[in-house]
Each structure stands twice: as structure tokens, then as C-alpha cells.
Structure 1
């Protein structure tokens, strides 16, 4: 369902400069081209091709094929100065789109249901604007068009292939169009913005048998049920209550008949937390709990645990810079949402581990237009007015960080 908790805001666009307002129709066109051709992680051939085509048309130096489908471009200012990176993810999701719009996905079972088509468009628009106005900044802006944010993760391989080198990046910024906030707002904070993402897959091995003769069995369902309950104590009884954490069992599969005691049960789920000091803790505690329960019942287990993405931690100075710019651009009654935070995860975190930077949310929901479905929903869409707002914020960040 469409969220009804979002306020309707009167968005004043007077603070967006004329050149960027004039670019808005093209931003919408580019976004809709990308939206019609969604591609999954490390398969973004059409998307990367579109990005490279535009960069060639504008004479912007770039490299393709980085971490398979990534693209990196550089725009140089009028004089030497620092290097600021702008990161945009390009991949889509394995979702069948349900929107009845002229620009709906033409790839069955794939959809831009998280706004990455908008992120790519905003970065392209910023690259174009800056290439036309090099006198407005010093130094270099490096645009990182990243594959596979939704999984299995494109940031790490891009970093390994040197995207933060030659020239050495001094800071990095990025944004996420956010339907949890209305158009005309920016969610930004220093420190933890998004959570670490860790995934687990556990198989409990018991001994099956007849449902009427339980004494001959080790019931994997009973054992796994105890595990599910006990895992909830990790946060409630082992984590400092002033620190946030989540342990979610997302799937439980066992058994196949009503008169057969299951010999195996499989649990999968996710762990989320903000505090980097908790890295490794959940894995260790989960292993202890599962091992102890299985031993008490005579069962065995196998646990696969993947520390998928670290938390997104914003640098104080860069976050303050972005906040000051957002305050200049956003002119609504709400404007800046300083305590915006989510247990969702993002591999922008890897860039922020390497260089100081800031990731922020740009409100993109508009309830009056029916554009407030949540991310990863088959009817997700956003108010495209946010595209020009994103370009304006990025451009001003460049000008302030790379002052001419």
C-alpha cells in the first residue's frame, strides 16, 4: 500500500540554478530510458553503455569495464585542487514491475525498484553540468558508476581495481533517493546512517522417523524452534540496550509430511547493527547458542555466516558540508531531517572506510501523485523533480569542497 504518513510539502525550486532547471527534461528522459532497461548486478551492459555514450558525447574522459561493468569518469576544474568522488549505483532488482507507465520495465522479471536509475541519472547530470562550467571549481571530480549494489556487491571490487587512485580521492559523497521521506527533504547525519548487513544460513541435522514413535528420533523442527527463540536473546540480553541491533530469521524450512518427524531443518536470516565494534560478535554468539542447543538435543549443525556489508559511517566534516549545502537548496517547512537512520544496508560503506565522505537520503515521495510505494515494491516509483534537486546539491558540494 501507499504510505499515508508522508506530509504533502510545497516544494520551492527557486534555489536550483537556471542551468540545472533547464536540464530537468533531459534528466527525466535519461532516467526513463534507464528505467525501461533494468539489469541485475554485474550484468549492467546496457546501463554502462548508456553512461559511456553520454560521457563520449560530452567529451568527458572515462574508463569502462571496471569490476566487470563499472564506469569511472573524471571532470577537471579550471585549476588544480582536491579530488572529490561522486558514487552512483546502477543495478536493478529481480522484481516484476506492476506500474502502468509508458516507461515501465521492458525486461521481464527485472525492475528499478530502488531508485538506482535515478542515482545514475543524477550523477550523469552533475558530470554534464560541471563539464560545462569548469570555472566554478578547482581540482577534479571523479564519478564512480558502480555495479551490483543490491548484491553481491560492486564497491569492493571497484576499490580493489583502483577507482580511488590516480588521482587519489580525498573525499566521497553519494545519495539515495528515499521514498521514506517526502520530496523537499534531505535525511543526513554524521556517524552511522545505515547498518551493517550480515547473513546466515544454518542447517540443523537430527534423526527422522515416524511421527508416532518420537523416542527413536531427534526432531530437527523442535531443535530449530529452540534456536529461533534463543537467537532473539542476542540483542535483548547480550547487546548494550543503548546500541541498536536486529537478528531476523527470515525463513524456516523443515519436514514434508504430517506423520514424519523431520531429520533436517534450515534457517536463514539477517543481522543488522550500527556500531562497528560489534563486528564478529553476532557470529560468535550465534555459533555458541546453536552449538549448545544442538548438543543438548543430540543434533548437529552447519552454519554459514557472511559479513556482507559494514555499516555506512559518515565523516563529521563532510556530513556538515553536505548539510550546509542541503540547507541552501531545500526550501520546505521540514527541509533537513537530521536523525534519519535505517537498518537497511549499502555497500557505499566500503568507500567510506577508505576515505572520508557522506552518504545521504534525498526525499523523493509524493503522496499526491501516488509516488510513495516503498523501496523494492513492484509499484515503486519516485517524483522525478528530485533529479534536478540532486544535481544541484552535488554541484554545490563540488563547488564548496573544490573552491576555485
Structure 2
């Protein structure tokens, strides 16, 4: 990106930072993305033409959508556009066709925010520069506002340089990454069915200098996100406790005993009960309880073991307290491995870059990302996939109320994504 595009990227990022939207409610983000993409030389899709309805996971309820829609209208999104998203069909894609034979390259960025209340500390950069979140209880605390800006910059560059490129290029703006809920709905719509080269990445992860990047990532954890509803029988806690079946105790038993699942000897494994809400009063046997949790594993098989054991614990907890339960999977991510070729392609493409100072071959993620669903889909068809890391100093960690990054990383990230497109990918394609 040139200096003008860098300025635009900063503005795009700051606008999105002010108006964060959690997964499947990204109405304002989708509108602004679509409005810009429509000004470019590509084919734009959104709504039900972009998202596979049945493959969405961890969906919001009607009340949450209505609140998001009302907020979007208040911020200038036309009601007609909101209707096109048909309750939770957020995100967008643009496809470019150069008209010349060549590979199909796809980029993916994520656009959703987190349910986190942003820091009001005067030293926090968004506060200092007056672009802090204007949505109570929501924040871009994982750099997806920056990722959106990078995606718009990539799409803009491609549109302006189509005459210099070959093949086809797809840029995906994915909703609902947090909780690993959105990638499957994009994949199952067919957008990656014939992709030869797939690139994505993340700002931060580790605190690095701007200009440092990693060509690939490692140590993705497969994950399953789940919700459990327990249903018991209410009764008077003093007069007739024997008539009750306590859903609160069932959920509490499950929450503690989930952490007793043995860790797996073949690799890293994780389990967490992160949310518990139950009961209605101190003198009432609780008839309802809600538990949210997750498992993770360094391989898909290890995660499968963890979720199998979690379900066993949950069933036993319900049986112990004589209550019913409903178990729902609300998000899934897979283990994935970047293709080795990127460790040569990326540094070779960037060796003369004025923006990139150091290219690490690989860096560990140590967490989960549903981009892995896309990577595995591309690789199963013979394509090559990578997930890069874009360095920036971090004053606070990801998912922290004071999270922020150096906006100069937007330009280095775009360069890291685009230069392999212009040089190494085409060269590799020609050599086949």
C-alpha cells in the first residue's frame, strides 16, 4: 500500500474500532465493507449468497439481532440493506478475474469483535486519539478491526493492478471467528472449492517490532465450543426440598468435574467451563441452569477425546441430580499445518521490501482459529495454505480491555500478503 492507502487503512481501522460488533451481528461492518467493495473492479457477494445458512454455528437469538439492527440504523445503515442480511448472514466476499490464465488465490480476514468493555485509561491509544468503542460492552480486542482494514487494502490494490496480474483472486471478509463459528458457513458455500493458494494471518499474537513477520504458523489447537442447558424441577427449598431436582447443582457438578478430565499424553489438551448461570432465588430449588465451555487439543483426535469425555461428565452430572440436559455444539476449529513452501516463497518475495525487516519461518499460535477449516479444505484439494503473523508491539494481550496495536502494521501486513501474489505465487505457478 502507498501512503494514501495507509491513511485509508488507519481510517478504516479506527471507524471499525469505534463500532465493534460481535459475531453474526456485524451489520455496520458488512455495510461499510460492501460499500467500498462495490467501488472496485470485482464481483461482490453478501447475505445468503455468501453464507451457508445451515452451517452457521453459535447463532444469536432474534432479540440480539433486533438490537444490532436498531443500532445499525441509528448509525446510518439503510433498513433495506439490513433486510438483505436476513438475520445473521453477515460478512462479504469480492472476486476478481484478470481474464488471463493463472492460479486462483484467496485471502481471508475476520471482522467480528468481542463482548469486552474497553479500557477508559487516558493512556490507552484509542482513548487518547478519540476512537474508542462507542458500543457498550463490545470491543475490538483481537485486532479484527485491523484485519478488516488489511482486507480492504488488499482488495483495493488488486482492483487497481488487475492489468498486472493473472488468474483469479478472492478476498473473504469472514464473520463470527470468535468462538470458531463462521468459517464452516463460508467453506460450505463453495468459495474455496478451487483455490490454489490461500493466505490469512493475524496481527500480534506475540509482541514484536513492526516489520517483523512470520511466513507460517504452527501449534493451532483444534477446539469445540459447547453450551449445556440443564432442566430440573422447582420446589420450595424449606417446605418440600425432596420434590425438587436441582439444575444448579447438576451444572455446578459438571463445571468442577469437567476439569477432572485427564490430559492427553499424545499432546496438548485443554478444557474450560467459562460461564455458569442458574437459579432464581435462595429459597427455590433451581429448575434451570446454563453452562458454556470448550475443549481444545493439539490434534483433532485429542480434541475429540476431550469433548467425548466432557459429554460423559455432563451426562453423569445430570443423572446424579436427576435432571435433563441439552448439549449443543456452537463452534468448531481444527488442527492445521501450513505448507512448507511458504517458508521459501514469503522471504524470497519480500527480500527487497522496505517495510519488512525480518521474516521468521514460523511462529506458534498456541490457540484456536477457525481459519483452519478453510486451510484444511484448500489443502485437501491440493492447494497450498499459510497463516502469517504480523508483528507489532503489544502493551496488553489479546482479549484484554487495553489491547491495541501500532497501526503501521497495517501496511506491513498488506505488503506481506500482496508481494507473494505478485512474485512468488506466479513464479511457482509458471514452473508447474
- Taking structure 2 as the reference length, the TM-score comes to 0.72
Q: Distance in 1 between matches of 2:90 and 2:253?
A: 44
Question: In the alignment, does 2:17 pair up with 1:35?
Answer: yes
- Residues 183 and 386 in structure 1, CA contact (< 8 A), matched pair in contact too: no
Shift of 1:310: 2.0
- CA apart distance, 1:385: 0.7
Instruction: Report the alpha carbon displacement of residue 250 of structure 1 after superposing the two structures with TM.
Output: 1.8
From the superposition, tell whether residues 211 and 182 of structure 1 become closer, same or farther in structure 2 (CA, over 3 Å).
farther
Instruction: Write the mapping of 1:28-177 to structure 2, written as runs, cut at 5 A.
Output: 28-65=10-47, 66-67=50-51, 68-77=89-98, 79-97=100-118, 98=120, 99-100=126-127, 101-134=129-162, 137-150=165-178, 153-165=181-193, 168-177=194-203
1:383 aligns with 2:406: yes
Q: Does 1:393 align with 2:416?
A: yes
Q: Unaligned regions of 5+ residues in structure 2, if any?
A: 52-88, 121-125, 380-384
Which of 322, 340, 346 is the aligned partner of 1:317?
340
Correspondence 1:233 to 2:233: no
**1:198 CA drift (Å):** 2.2
For the 8 Å contact 1:71–1:145, the answer to whether it is kept is: yes
Deviation by residue 1:138-186 (Cα, 9 ceiling, x = unmatched): 3222111222323683322223333225xx2123111121254233333
Deviations 1:37-71 (A, max 9, x none): 33343443433333333334343443343223332
Q: Secondary structure at the match of 1:25?
A: helix
Give deviations 1:105-147, integer Å, cap 9, x for gaps.
3444443232222111112212222333346543222111222
**Are 2:224 and 1:201 equivalent residues in the alignment?**
no
Task: Provide the secondary structure at the position in 2 that maps to 1:374.
Answer: coil
Q: Distance in 1 between matches of 2:181 and 2:377?
A: 16
- Tell me the residue number matched to 1:183: 209
| 8 A contact 2:223–2:333 mirrored in 1 | yes
Contact 2:206-2:391 within 8 A present in 1 as well: yes
- Structure 1 residue 352 and structure 2 residue 379: aligned? no
C-alpha distance 325-262 of structure 1, shift in aligned 2 (>3 A): farther
C-alpha separation between the residues in 1 aligned to 2:321 and 2:42? 64
Count residues in correspondence.
Answer: 373
Give the aligned partner of residue 54 of structure 2.
Answer: none
Q: Equivalents in 1 of 2:255, 2:90: separation in Å?
A: 39
Q: What secondary structure is seen at the aligned counterpart in 2 of 1:173?
A: strand
RMSD: 3.5
1:7 matched to which residue of 2? none
Q: CA offsets per residue over residues 350-397 of structure 1, 9 Å max, x none?
A: 21231032223322334xxxxx23333333321101000111100122
Q: Is the 1:113–1:380 contact (alpha carbons within 8 Å) kept by the matching residues of 2?
A: yes
Q: Is the 8 A contact 1:51 1:124 kept in 2?
A: yes
Instruction: Give the conservation status (yes or no) of the 8 Å contact 1:206–1:217.
Output: yes
With over 3 angstroms needed to count, the CA separation of the structure-2 counterparts of 1:44 and 1:302, relative to structure 1, is closer
Which structure exhibits the higher relative contact order, with contacts defined as CA atoms closer than 8 Å and separated by 6 or more residues? Answer: 1
Deviations 1:323-361 (A, max 9, x none): 5369746755x7527342223x32212212310322233
